Amino acid sequence: MIKEQRSKGWNEKKTNDSWAIFKIMGEFVNGFEKMSAIGPCVSIFGSARTKPDHKYYQLAQNIATRIVNAGYGVITGGGPGIMEAGNKGAHIGGGTSVGLNIDLPFEQHDNPYIDSDKSLDFDYFFVRKVMFVKYSQGFVVMPGGFGTLDELFEAITLIQTNKIDKFPIILVGTDFWKDLIGWVKNTLLDQFQNISAKDLDLIHLVDTEEEVIDVLDRFYEEYKLSPNF
């Protein structure tokens, strides 16, 4: 009896998995159609838990305003915290403000600074991550948690392995990132040789909005703006 129940449950799961393909395809199609019409953008990542009175919220907002003034749009995960700060800065600057929203327990809700026609909803993290990578001309990574680190290291890996075109990855906040960068250099590179020295060229560590724009400007003096794969 137990064996039959397990077999039945497994067969039902396989059927559900097959139908999920159509939902996944729908998210990709909708995302590609909307994002391809927006134009060059920079994604801003960081903690959903950062409060509006925190220095990094204020800095993310200022960076976003400078980014739209430089001719880019801003993409965020659409939620509160640093994401809200990014959309708010883009809104204040009169630029494109995109939110790639996903339903999460405890944290995620749409912030009010996303352009009404540029708010996209996703059920699948991996589809949402494709949109960030494909339509971003750079990543600005503010202090955050596991989700922020996930986005950071996936982008580095995709560039390192030539699965996507190179774009600038800018870490903002020396006081937050210095220990991680030190571990990468001392442990991954020097002690274990698990990466190459040139891999570190992908990362820029800065503290001000002026430095963020400088990195973007210097990079795109050499490379053209285009989707990344």
pLDDT mean over 42-64: 98
Instruction: Indicate whether 10 pLDDT > 80.
Output: no
CATH architecture of 2-220: 3-Layer(aba) Sandwich (3.40)
Can you state the percent helix, strand and coil of the chain, rounding each to 5? 55, 15, 35
Among the residues of the chain, which ranges form H helices? Answer: 2-35, 55-69, 82-92, 125-134, 146-160, 174-183, 209-220
Which stretches of the chain are assigned E, i.e. beta strand?
A: 41-45, 73-76, 97-102, 119-122, 136-141, 169-172, 203-206
Q: Domain spans of the chain?
A: 2-220
Q: What is the pLDDT at residue 106? A: 64
Instruction: Indicate whether 169 pLDDT > 60.
Output: yes
pLDDT tier for residue 228 given thresholds of 50, 70 and 90: confident
pLDDT mean over 86-111: 89
159 vs 15: which has the higher pLDDT: 159
Tokens of 131: 């949109």
pLDDT tier for residue 17 given thresholds of 50, 70 and 90: confident
Tokens of 190: 């020097």
For 188, the 3-state DSSP assignment is helix
d(CA 228, CA 20): 27
Residue type, 77: G
Which secondary structure element, helix H or strand E, spans residue 18, and what is its range?
A: helix 2-35
Instruction: Indicate whether 1 pLDDT > 80.
Output: no
Q: What is the pLDDT at residue 109? A: 77
